[in-house]
Amino acid sequence: MYKIFLVEDDPVICQTVTEHLSLWGYQVQAAQDFSHTVEEFTAFAPHLVLLDIGLPVFNGFHWVQEIRTRSQTPVIFLSSASDNINIVTAIQLGGDDFIPKPFDLTVLTAKIQAVLRRTYSLPKGRDILEHQGALLDLSAETVSGPDGQRELTKNEFRILKVLMENAGHTVSRSQLMVLLWENESFIDDNTLTVNISRLRKKLENVGLAGFLTTRKGQGYILE
């Protein structure tokens, strides 16, 4: 589960954003003491920070610089002070994105997902297969999507790998069974069904519901 640290002094915005992101499966912690924002950031160790500019005690520009002396955790600014000077300053001081207030919650979620994917889903030096927002790490045997990352079993990994390598084309059940049988012990039809079901559940858990489609009487396809 990705952790998000929200530094926002408007209680209505704070509550609304926290409730919305919690529904998306994020663990959200809001700053409590604006004199000790960095200490709270360090203790929570978030994957991403949402940071307002106009804050009590010190503004967001101060805090992003403090964070950057300690961490490269991505920071998205949220502010009604959305003139070009503030946007440029925010990015130059270490911000990864800027969302003007008022903002749509769906836009906020999409921006967060994009920054998290860029930061955590593409490890350097690893082979990655990508299709329609899904990322298959060939070294770690994990799948990543908009809502996080999951480890795959050997069979789940092999199934998803061949499907991604043949994206847009139907792969038959017999082809998959031959693939799995060649790599391990004999795999029967029921075992394949179980593996497909578990793989589909993991894809749903990372925000990729409907990614794997069944073609009745033919096999499986990634559209």
Tell me the per-residue pLDDT of 30-55, one tens digit each, with 9 for 90 and over. Answer: 999 999 999 999 999 999 999 999 99
Residue 38's Cβ-count burial label (10 Å; 0-12, 13-18, 19+) is middle
- pLDDT class for 125, splitting at 50, 70, 90? very low
- pLDDT class for 182, splitting at 50, 70, 90? low
Q: Which residue has the higher pLDDT, 121 or 88?
A: 88
Which neighbouring-strand residues pair with 99?
Answer: 78
Write down the mean pLDDT value for the chain.
88
Structure tokens at 109: 């979620």
Q: Measured between alpha carbons, how far apart are the two ends of the chain, in Å?
A: 27
Tell me the per-residue pLDDT of 183-194, one tens digit each, with 9 for 90 and over. Answer: 555 566 788 899
Tell me the mean pLDDT in the region 62-79.
93
CA 81, CA 76: separation in Å to the nearest integer?
14
User: What pLDDT is attached to residue 121?
Assistant: 61
Tell me the mean pLDDT in the region 2-29.
94
Q: Which residue has the higher pLDDT, 39 or 107?
A: 39
To the question of pTM greater than 0.85 for the whole model, the response is no
CA 17, CA 140: separation in Å to the nearest integer?
33
Residue 5 has pLDDT above 70, yes or no: yes
Residue 166 has pLDDT above 80, yes or no: yes
- pLDDT class for 213, splitting at 50, 70, 90? very high
